[in-house]
C-alpha cells in the first residue's frame, strides 16, 4: 500500500505539472537546476513531467533523456535507468556510455544473460571508447564470479581428502574434477576478451593441472 501511495503521489505531481501551464522547456530547465544540485529524484520527476507534455511534433531532447537515465541510476532506480539509457542508445546519444550503463542496470537487476549479450557487442562496437575498459571489466568480473563458484567447490572437495581414507581419494578427485570442468569455460571466456587477466590465467593453470 505504501508503494502504491508513492506511485500515486508521483503521478499526481506529473498531472499538476501538466495542468498548471508550465512548458516542457521550463520543466526541463528546472530539472537541469535540480540535477546541478544533485537532487536526482526531484530532477527525474521534473524531466518526466517535461516528457509528459513534450509536443508530439517536436523531437525529444536526447540530452535530457540521458540526464533522466543518470538521475535514475544515481537514485538506484535500476528499472528506470535501464529504460532511459536504452532510449538514449536508440536516439544515438553518447551511445558508448549509454550502452555501458544499460549493461550496468542489467547487472544490478541480475539479468546477466542480457548484460553479457549487450557487453559482447559493445566490445566490438566501441573498441576506441574511453569506457571500453569499464565494459570489459564489468564482463570479466561477471565471468570470474561465475567461475569462482564451482572452482571453490572443487577446492573444498579436495580439502576433504586430508582426513579421508586413501581408498576414497579417486572418488574425491573425480567429484572435484566435475566442478573444475564447470569452472573452466568461465575462465576461458575471460581470456578471450582479456588475455592478460592474471586471475583467469592462474585459475586455468590450476584447473588444467588437476584435470591432466
Please give the backbone phi and psi of residue 166, each rounded to the nearest 5 degrees, phi first: -55, -30
| pLDDT-based confidence at residue 15 (cuts at 50, 70, 90) | very low
The verdict on residue 15 lying in a domain is yes
Q: Are residues 6 and 100 part of one domain?
A: yes
User: Residues 6 or more apart from 16 whose CB is under 8 A from it?
Assistant: none
pLDDT at 20: 58
Among residues 61, 31, 62, 34, the alpha carbon closest in space to that of 49 is found at 31
Average pLDDT over residues 154-173: 94
Q: Are residues 66 and 19 part of one domain?
A: yes
**How high is the mean pLDDT of the chain?**
92
| pLDDT-based confidence at residue 54 (cuts at 50, 70, 90) | very high
| pLDDT-based confidence at residue 22 (cuts at 50, 70, 90) | confident
For residue 16, pLDDT over 80 is answered with no
| pLDDT-based confidence at residue 19 (cuts at 50, 70, 90) | very low
The verdict on residue 85 lying in a domain is yes
Q: Are residues 91 and 51 part of one domain?
A: yes
CA 112 to chain centre: 8
For residue 4, pLDDT over 80 is answered with no
Q: Which of 71, 93, 110 is the last residue of a domain?
A: 110
Total domains in the chain come to 2
Q: Which of 110, 145, 171 is the last residue of a domain?
A: 110
Q: Are residues 72 and 16 part of one domain?
A: yes
Q: Are residues 97 and 7 part of one domain?
A: yes
The verdict on residue 96 lying in a domain is yes
User: What CATH code is carried by the domain that includes residue 15?
Assistant: 1.25.40.10
Q: Are residues 186 and 96 part of one domain?
A: no
Average pLDDT over residues 179-187: 98
pLDDT at 117: 98
The verdict on residue 52 lying in a domain is yes
Q: Which of 75, 92, 110 is the last residue of a domain?
A: 110
Q: Are residues 100 and 7 part of one domain?
A: yes
Average pLDDT over residues 77-81: 98
Q: Are residues 144 and 105 part of one domain?
A: no
Average pLDDT over residues 156-165: 93
The verdict on residue 92 lying in a domain is yes
Q: Which three cell numbers stand for residue 175?
A: 567429484
The verdict on residue 45 lying in a domain is yes
pTM: 0.86
Cα 207 to Cα 195: distance, rounded to the nearest angstrom: 17
Q: Are residues 144 and 106 part of one domain?
A: no
Range in 4-18, 21-35, 79-93, 141-155 the model is least confident about = 4-18
Whether 98 contacts 69, CB under 8 Å: yes
The verdict on residue 202 lying in a domain is yes
The verdict on residue 9 lying in a domain is yes
Q: Are residues 149 and 88 part of one domain?
A: no
Domain limits for position 173: 136-211
Q: Which three cell numbers stand for residue 120?
A: 559482447
Q: Are residues 169 and 100 part of one domain?
A: no
Q: Are residues 87 and 19 part of one domain?
A: yes
Comparison of pLDDT for 184 and 18, the residue scoring more: 184
Amino acid at each position: 500500500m505504501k508503494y502504491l501511495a508513492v506511485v500515486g503521489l508521483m503521478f499526481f505531481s506529473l498531472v499538476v505539472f501538466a495542468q498548471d501551464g508550465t512548458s516542457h522547456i521550463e520543466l526541463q530547465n528546472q530539472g537541469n537546476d535540480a540535477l546541478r544540485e544533485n537532487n536526482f529524484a526531484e530532477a527525474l520527476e521534473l524531466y518526466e513531467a517535461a516528457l509528459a507534455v513534450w509536443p508530439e511534433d517536436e523531437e525529444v531532447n536526447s540530452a535530457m533523456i540521458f540526464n533522466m537515465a543518470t538521475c535514475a541510476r544515481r537514485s538506484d532506480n535500476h528499472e528506470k535507468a535501464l529504460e532511459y539509457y536504452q532510449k538514449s542508445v536508440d536516439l544515438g546519444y553518447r551511445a558508448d556510455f549509454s550502452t555501458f550503463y544499460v549493461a550496468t542496470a542489467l547487472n544490478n537487476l541480475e539479468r546477466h544473460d542480457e548484460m553479457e549479450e549487450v557487453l559482447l557487442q559493445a566490445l566490438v562496437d566501441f573498441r576506441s571508447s574511453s569506457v571500453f575498459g569499464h565494459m570489459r571489466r564489468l564482463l570479466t568480473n561477471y565471468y570470474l564470479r561465475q567461475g569462482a563458484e564451482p572452482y571453490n567447490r572443487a577446492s573444498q572437495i579436495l580439502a576433504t581428502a586430508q582426513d579421508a581414507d586413501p581408498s576414497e581419494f579417486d572418488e574425491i578427485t573425480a567429484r572435484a574434477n566435475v566442478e573444475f570442468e564447470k569452472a573452466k569455460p568461465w575462465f576461458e571466456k575471460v581470456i578471450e576478451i582479456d588475455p592478460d587477466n592474471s586471475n583467469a590465467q592462474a585459475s586455468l593453470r590450476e584447473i588444467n593441472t588437476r584435470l591432466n
